[in-house]
Structure 1
């Protein structure tokens, strides 16, 4: 057994104590040593089996007990590693909560800021609209600069994200002018863009393959939970938008503390920085392996450096059909997502509740939409895993069309003098249905697909560009919302959302591919060889689920 330990330790040294030029050779040698190790173990087991027949039953019981102990010990290692991954992942989810509270802040702060008063700042309708738009329009900038921040370290990226978020909230809380509020909202928007990329990348690099989808799904859940919390703050502190901003800032403070005390650097980043000993030590911790135990071959394989082709022509890969076609499809999908009113409702929940004929406190109504969105986000992972991407998207679009059409008709009849004795139940049901069913498909699925639909060589560039364009669409819809409301009235605005949702369903039926159950290579080949109108026929519900995220 000592020889086995020595060979394991030798394989680690060969893998990490070599120069970059001989790294691949070292990896091959390490793999050969691992094979020798396995042969020795097998031979030892064979000898043990022979000895078992030659020895007494007491010796056989000792051998069986030892094997059972080893199995139990390995299970304990896996359990400890999973617990540590969960602890760190949940801490990272706190990091995204502070920035994403910006989505719901304008909904609860705008009614207070625009109300007539003499003891605090007062904004007009145009200024209030820009307060909401400023955050949305700056999210793409945060996404684009995230790569520069994360190149300094994943942990540093999380720290900078929380620090920027804290700066934004403090700026808003201490504002003495409209311009200062606008600066605070711009800073908050940048922090949102940073948080989306930094948290997703961190969790993807530390999680085991089996649990990666689940842990990444927590990020979406945390984002929706943070919006709900802001709505609750808005209800509790109705007349104090400064105190709401201060409460949001506390989440960024807690995130900074967790980053400094709990969240470590990722093993893969340490590996890429030529710090192999630290990378191996950290990977052992995330996999629950004691420090004095040699790393199994599986762990060494996770840390195996990826070979990069020299003189790679990036532009040539960007103009391939396998890149252009999915890019057009995803940008179109995000267009229908944004112009169907999803983020307009998030940013203006209180006002929309107030103008939709709902006979409850509009802040309570906003909280109800937050609860519906949170519940739907909890269900989204299971729905997508079982039914794929196309079916939930189609059902979501159809539900959005029905709910918005129903609400539009209701408001139209009310505005034209029709008496409807429903005690406000119909508009509540329509809004809740819209929020719930939109989260199951249109809100989440595009972000799921953007992580898997692009070829690996251009995934980082096209994914970031697509998300940036999506938030540009979001900024446009939020900015033109007041003008559309004046032009169409509330019933016309909801009818517009219904029409866009219905056209989105037609787009999904004709062009959106099913990526569930397909490897990344199969997806790339599908776009390279098939025509666009043939893509939807590729996926069949019930196939094996691919490793995608929410």
Structure 2
């Protein structure tokens, strides 16, 4: 097995950690509002719990700029290692904190690291991968994310908050050791810093091929970076190709967020309770997490065969089709109609939603973003795109509960379905196909 898989898998442990933070609120919020389980002197209000949920994506707005800057200054590897430290601090604060401000700080700093992970990890994997496996390797990030989501859903409801947070703290501790020992630096970073001997050594370790093949790839990287030079944010708008790449990236993460994914992840238990489904809400959340985990293996296997656009179209249609009947069910239930005969519908619709989301609009925006931008603007473009994504996530997680209380949860899902419908023409007409193409070929297509 090529060492590139060892590097990608070891590095992606931090993606697992980031995901545990995303679903941490689902089993925990109900405990914080239970006077017998909360660590605070009084139970939290809905507004306070909404801040605990939304401070993570708010922190993630700033994370891409901090960690994106570090990725260019000190390298992808050491940036990812620094990114892991706040997770460890945050979980310890959540385990032993007795004041609300400690929880706020923990969620914000872990959010900054989440934003960093979603910016630097696609960059890192995109640079160490080969043209033939870049899509598959990029999609493995989603496997680790879904593993983390499932872990919190499965363990969180059945252990104390202290036990959960101490368990979660073990993962960043292990990651810091493993990735430091096993993770190579990106050859692209070394070349950009004129450290060509180190770049060659990194390539030999990652590829495991002969010296001639390594020298050839090193020469290609040198030529590519030499042509690109050093860019700024405003350079994105100086060429048609880069502007289009930026719009594609913003569009993909925008439709990803407005499909409603973070509302589902952060408030899974609450959604099932409000929908009045016959199954226990925690069991429903575990089913959702398990579905997401199992389907996360599909995209890496088929993305290089079917291509990005086909999967994006399937994903958008599937999410729309699943959210419309879910909205109808919730609307009828809120109006006092007897929906006991179709009480299975919420879990069925959300399973369908998760399967189709996980096929493309979950993993592919980040993988495609890593393919679209040349090295000179990749860091800043990725940072801005990720910040935009997390700002939308902040708005949705902060105000979803308030909006769904005001207009009811059914119409909320219809709004999400409307955005999924809009994603269909965007995916078909504007997104370019990157399957099997080199980074240079992708730039040529964007500029054509």
TM (normalized to structure 1)? 0.73
**CA deviation string 1:460-491 (max 9, x = no partner):** 32232112211111111111102211111121
Q: Which has the higher contact order (CA 8 A, sep 6+)?
A: 2
CA distance in 2 between partners of 1:280 and 1:323 (Å): 29
Maintained 8 Å contact 1:235/1:364: no
- Could you tell me whether the CA contact under 8 Å between 2:139 and 2:367 is conserved in 1? no
Equivalent of residue 426 in structure 1, options 306, 321, 345: 345
Paired residues, what number?
Answer: 441
1:184 and 1:85 map into 2 onto residues whose CA distance is 33
| Of 163, 167, 170, the match for 1:247 | 167
271-280 vs 413-422, which deviates more? 271-280
Structure 1 residue 355 and structure 2 residue 274: aligned? yes
- In 2, the alpha carbon distance for the partners of 1:371 and 1:310 equals 43
Change (3 A) 1:193 1:311: closer
- 1:127 pairs with 32, 36, 48, which one? 48
Match of 1:149 in 2: 70
Aligned-residue RMSD, C-alpha: 2.7
Contact kept in structure 1, 2:150 and 2:290, CA below 8 Å: yes
SS of the aligned residue for 1:491 comes to helix
The 5 Å alignment of 1:135-174 reads 135-150=56-71, 151-174=73-96
| CA displacement at 1:357 relative to structure 2 | 2.2
Distance 1:390 1:248 in 2: 36
Rounded to whole Å, the distance in 1 between the matches of 2:201 and 2:371 is 30
Higher mean C-alpha deviation, range 124-133 or range 397-406: 397-406
Q: Does 1:444 align with 2:324?
A: no
Q: Quote the residue 1:90 is aligned against.
A: 9
Aligned mates of 1:410, 1:249 — CA distance in 2: 39
CA contact (8 A) 1:234 1:363 kept: no
Query: How far apart, CA to CA, are the structure 2 residues paired with 1:224 and 1:477?
Result: 20
Gaps of 5+ in 2: none
Spell out, residue by residue over 1:152-177, the C-alpha distance to the aligned partner (whole angstroms, 9 max, x if none): 23332232112121111112222111
Match in the other structure for 2:212: 297
| Change in 2 beyond 3 A, CA 1:140/1:210 | same
Instruction: Please tell me whether residue 110 in structure 1 is matched to residue 29 in structure 2.
Output: yes
Aligned mates of 1:87, 1:524 — CA distance in 2: 29
| Residue 3 of structure 1: aligned partner | none
Deviation at 1:284, TM superposition (A): 3.3
C-alpha distance in structure 1 between counterparts of 2:150 and 2:254, whole Å = 25
Give the alignment of 1:294-373 within 5 angstroms. 296-304=211-219, 305-306=222-223, 308=226, 315=234, 318-373=237-292
- The TM-score, its normalising length taken from structure 2, stands at 0.89
Residues 453-532 of structure 1: matches in 2 within 5 Å? 453-454=372-373, 457-516=376-435, 519-529=438-448
Measured at CA, do residues 256 and 520 of structure 1 come closer, stay the same or move farther in structure 2, by a change above 3 Å? closer
CA displacement at 1:313 relative to structure 2? 7.2
| Displacement after TM superposition at 1:120 (Å) | 2.3
- The 3 A distance-change label for structure 1 pair 212 and 517 is closer
Q: Higher Cα Rg: structure 1 or 2?
A: 1
CA distance in 1, matches of 2:5, 2:188: 18
After TM superposition, list the pairs within 5 Å mapping 1:368-383 onto structure 2.
368-383=287-302
> Which secondary structure state, in structure 2, belongs to the residue aligned with residue 115 of structure 1?
coil
Which stretch shifts more, 324-333 or 139-148?
324-333
Secondary structure of 1:452's partner? helix
- d(CA) in 2 for partners of 1:512 and 1:105? 33
2:182 to 246, 262, 265: 262
Is contact 1:322–1:454 with CA below 8 Å preserved after alignment?
no
Q: Per-residue CA shift, 1:518-540, capped at 9, x if unaligned?
A: 554554454445xxxxxxxxxxx
Q: For the residues of structure 2 that align with 1:507 and 1:302, how far apart are their CA atoms? A: 35
